[in-house]
Amino acid sequence: MKIPFNPIDRSKEAESLVMQDERRLYHKFRGAPYYGGIATADAVGCSFLCAYCWNYSRNKNPSRFGRFYSPEEIADKLLAIGRRRSFRLFRITGSEPILGERSLNHLIKVIDTILDADPRAKFILETNGLMPGYKEALARRLRFSRILVRISLKGVDPGTFEKISGAGKEFFGYPLAALKNLEEKGVCTWPALMADLFSKAQIEKLKRVLRESGIHSRLELEGLEGYPFVLANLKRRGIFFHKDCGNGVP
């Protein structure tokens, strides 16, 4: 795929590949140590093609991987992992869960089923924020009492956003719009950034952008898992991973 691309168009294309009626493509189910322990379903299909994505090859060609599952099947598998591991946190990861209306309908049915089945459960929605920022109506549907929305920001400004995500720089503002919309609707939400790819000055710049955009939630700084293929992808994009100083995106 030629970079930069239009991620709205890519969302539509990905959704057409990974959705079949109410069913979506998934390739793995597991317990994971993140957030103190979380039941996890790994899906495929994304609106971005991030240089550091650990699921890069599957998201580049999503129709080649996994099988289709209904929302009820996904909820049952996640609840079974939760019971076996004594987890109360649940998520879908490895992809973008909100590509459009069909994938959002699938997601909401998964969340509804899990929260109805376990009154102590919480669902962590990991999203790049593109579509909830592009269509506010999608963000309005995320008002659950036990949902936590983590929006992964791909850059500190339009240029770094384009270099990392592959999406055109003009789409940089949509995840910020999603954060603001969700905050205003009382949804527990926060931004996250792959800090190992940025200098301290760049991170402070993003914090200023967040404040100036009226976003008050704290920025989460995450560390990069430097798999060899991830480092190779970063190098091809002209991004260099320096774990000790974080100054890879010029």
Residue that the structure tokens 């990974």 belong to: 18
DSSP codes, 4-47: SB-HHHHHHHHHHHHEETTEEEEEEEEEE-GGGSEEEEEE---S
CATH number, domain with residue 13? 3.20.20.70
Look at residue 1 in the predicted model and tell me its pLDDT.
Answer: 72
Q: Is residue 1 part of a domain?
A: no
pTM: 0.93
Residue 33: domain span = 7-236
**Would you state the pLDDT for residue 245?**
44
What would the two tokens of residue 66 be? 């996994």
Is 149 inside any structural domain?
Answer: yes
* CA–CA gap between residue 37 and residue 191 (Å, rounded): 20
Residue 242 lies in a domain: no
Question: What pLDDT is recorded for position 241?
Answer: 65
CA dihedral 18, 19, 22, 28 (to 10 degrees): 0
Is residue 102 one of the residues assigned to a domain? yes
If we measure between CA atoms, which residue out of 10, 1, 98, 9 comes closest to residue 57? 1
Asked if the structure places residue 247 within a domain, the reply is no
Q: Left, alpha or beta for 147 (phi > 0: left; psi -120 to 50: alpha)?
A: beta
Residue 248 placed within a domain: no
* Domains contained in the chain, number: 1
Residue 249, pLDDT score: 63
DSSP helix/strand/coil, 66: coil
Output the tens digit of pLDDT for each of the chain's 250 residues. 789 999 999 999 999 999 999 999 999 999 999 999 999 999 999 999 999 999 888 998 888 889 999 999 999 999 999 999 999 999 999 999 999 999 999 999 999 999 999 999 999 999 999 999 999 999 999 988 899 999 999 999 999 999 999 999 999 999 999 999 999 999 999 999 999 999 999 999 999 999 999 999 999 999 998 888 888 889 888 887 655 444 556 5
Domain membership of residue 15 (yes or no) is yes
**Residue 243: inside a domain, yes or no?**
no
